[in-house]
Amino acid sequence: MAFFNSSSKVEVIGLTDMHNHILYGVDDGADDLETSIKMLKMAYDDGIRNMVLTPHYHPRRGMAHYSEIVKNFNDLFDVAQQMLPDMNLYLGREIYFASDITQDREKFYQKTMNGSSTALIEFSSNVSCDKVRSGALEVIMSGFHPVIAHIERYVCTIKDYEYVYELKDMGVDIQINADSLLGENGSAVKRCVKKLMEDELVDYIASDAHDIKYRAPLLSKCYALVSKKYGSDYADKLMRYNPEEVFSRED
């Protein structure tokens, strides 16, 4: 790890991005291998060295067969090893919640983070707080550890984030997107993120990258902002140490 400090920004090498759509040809993220490689290079230049690739498991945005996902991951992994040998890639999924997602445990493990019991779960943007709570509880009761994806984008969270305390008490982890903290998803989302950060309810910040232009795999600007406003220890926790546990777990 190497830190370089100046009056204007903080740069860090060794960040971890645990939510992105860099894996090509399987969802609404990268279209082809070339785009995946461009996104990996962009992330690498931004200081990211560990990435959990999380293609959608979603009825409209990503239902590729597991065998295709593994094949594409292995192809990208091989290229990355040659071009960026110190970039570490791991496989996960972003799982759209449905009441039957954990019924087949063997297949559900194909969707977890690096084959562990940790699962990145997303809900509809119009989901109710009760639905998030009950969905998270269902995942927990099935023996898995839920991470709620981009919780700041749910209307119920924007209106009243207090229910997130209940999720934390249940043992749920919370992920927000870097661009939300930077204000790129509107002022209401930014205000919500500010409250979540100030109350230290956030466990992970990730890029949720889908392309190289509008939703790019970048974290360093967010890292600098968090370091300035909340301290470098908190920035390290959210973009280095906590995410590292996602791919190092061997549940």
Q: Looking at residue 249, what is its pLDDT?
A: 64
DSSP assignment string, 63-97: ---HHHHHHHHHHHHHHHHHH-TT-EEEE--EEEP
Closest C-alpha among 222, 162, 228, 248 to residue 6? 228
What pLDDT, on a 0 to 100 scale, did the predictor assign at position 250?
59
Could you give the C-alpha distances from 117 to 69, 170, 229, in angstroms and in order?
19, 16, 33
**pLDDT digits (tens), the chain, 251 positions:** 333 333 334 578 999 999 999 999 999 999 999 999 999 999 999 999 999 999 999 988 778 999 999 999 999 999 999 999 999 999 999 999 998 999 999 999 999 999 999 999 999 999 999 999 999 999 999 999 999 999 999 999 999 999 999 999 999 999 999 999 999 999 999 999 999 999 999 999 999 999 999 999 999 999 999 999 999 999 999 999 999 887 776 55
The pLDDT, as a whole number, for residue 6 is 34
Model pLDDT, residue 61: 79
Q: How many CB atoms lie within 10 A of CB 49?
A: 18
Query: How many Cβ atoms sit within 10 Å of the Cβ of residue 127?
Result: 17
pLDDT at position 246 = 78
Q: Can you give the pTM of this predicted structure?
A: 0.93
Q: How far is CA 97 from the centre of its chain?
A: 16
Would you say 157 and 180 are in contact if contact means Cβ atoms under 8 Å apart? Answer: no
Buried residues in 9-43 as b, exposed as e (16+ CB within 10 A) = ebebebbbbbbbbbbbbbbebbeeeebbbbbbbbb
Give the C-alpha separation, 5 to 116, whole Å. 36
Which residues does 111 contact at the CB level (< 8 Å), separation at least 6?
57, 92, 93, 95, 101, 119
pLDDT score for 152: 98
Locate tokens 């969802």: which residue? 27
